Structure 1
Amino acid sequence: MRLFLDCEFSQLTASAKLISLALVAEDGREFYVELLDTWREADCSDFVVEIVLPQLWGGSYALSIIGARSALLEFLASFDEALEIVTDAPQYDWELFCELAYADGKWPRNVRNYPTDATTLDAISDGIPLPHHALLDARIIASMFAPGSPKKGLP
């Protein structure tokens, strides 16, 4: 089962801090979380402050890192099959996913321990503007791989 991953984070640097994370499964199941205690506005680039932060949903999606990790691990454990994580930004999204998924010295038993780079697959179409919201972006990426997808434009 493929899970399509997207993250929003503080800035495009090695010290990026996770703001939000989403997974959309091939079967339609979704996971979305916003982190409350892993970043501050001062950590964020101007782009993130202007584009990403205003789109956060808050409410029940906003969790501490401990709550977010627990929710993520519960979501991943709900799948019986092996999980392949697909992302269009493995150098950032995969690293941030790993930081959240790796808990108590353990990796989730059903998650493959390396990502699939969506940009190396035929389905990614150039020119599709992503809204820079983790869940909305993950849905768009997943739709590009859906059976019968035209592989162009928004779903």
Structure 2
Amino acid sequence: MKIFLDCEFTQLNQYSKLISLALVSQSGEEFYVELTNTYSLDDCSDFVIQNVLPQLDPLRCGQSLSDAQVSLRRFLGSFAEQLEVCSDEPNRDWKFFYDLVCADHQPWPVQVLNQPTNLAILFNEVDAEALEQVELSDPPHHALLDARMLAELFEALASRFALSP
């Protein structure tokens, strides 16, 4: 089963810190967490301050890093089938996902493939005309909404073209 990953983080450089992480499975299960103790406002770019932080709801979705790690492993463990993690930004998102899953030297979950699928490469295999047929809005820069959008885009393209479901 494919599971779509998106993350929001403090800035686009080597010092970026995770703000939120979302997973949306093909079967509709969702995981979303906003981290409450991994970054400060000073760590954030102006773009993040203006576009990402105002969308957060830490009272409802916030967790400490250690609680988020437990919640994520519980979510992944709820699946019996093998999970293929898909991201349009695997170079960034995968590191945050991997670090959250394997924190405190936890073993890798056996049902999760230990390598992401790069959706950007997959989507590039579909010609530009086909992509124009799928209505897309600008990404909202909210991890859960963006992960939902990736899942919907994949399903729309898979149903119209020869993408493996």
The total of aligned residue pairs comes to 151
Q: Matches of 1:60 and 1:108 in 2, distance apart? A: 27
Is 2:36–2:58's contact at 8 Å kept on the other side of the alignment? no
Describe how 1:57-68 pairs up with structure 2 within 5 A.
57-68=57-68
2:85 aligned counterpart, secondary structure:
strand
Residue 149 (structure 1) shift: 5.5
The answer to whether 1:139 aligns with 2:140 is: no
What residue number does 2:93 align with?
93
Residue 2 (structure 1) shift: 0.5
What residue number does 1:2 align with?
2
Q: Matches of 1:117 and 1:104 in 2, distance apart? A: 27
Q: Matches of 1:12 and 1:121 in 2, distance apart? A: 23
1:105-142 per-position Cα deviation (integer Å, ceiling 9, x unaligned): 21112111110001011369477410000000000000
Q: Matches of 2:81 and 2:146 in 1, distance apart? A: 24
1:7-39 per-position Cα deviation (integer Å, ceiling 9, x unaligned): 000000111100000000000000000000111
Describe how 1:106-117 pairs up with structure 2 within 5 A.
106-117=107-118
Q: Which has the higher helix share?
A: 2
Q: Matches of 1:12 and 1:54 in 2, distance apart? A: 18
Q: Matches of 1:149 and 1:61 in 2, distance apart? A: 33
1:74-124 per-position Cα deviation (integer Å, ceiling 9, x unaligned): 000000011100001111101000110113421112111110001011369
What residue number does 1:41 align with?
41
Q: CA RMSD in A?
A: 2.0
What residue number does 1:25 align with?
25
Q: 1:43 to 1:111 in 2, by over 3 A?
A: same
1:40-79 per-position Cα deviation (integer Å, ceiling 9, x unaligned): 1100000000100000022231000000000000000000
Give 1 or 2 for the bigger CA radius of gyration.
2
- Identity of paired residues, percent? 48
1:74 aligned counterpart, secondary structure:
helix
Unaligned runs of 5+ in 2: none
What letter corresponds to residue 138 of structure 1 in structure 2?
A
TM norm structure 2: 0.85
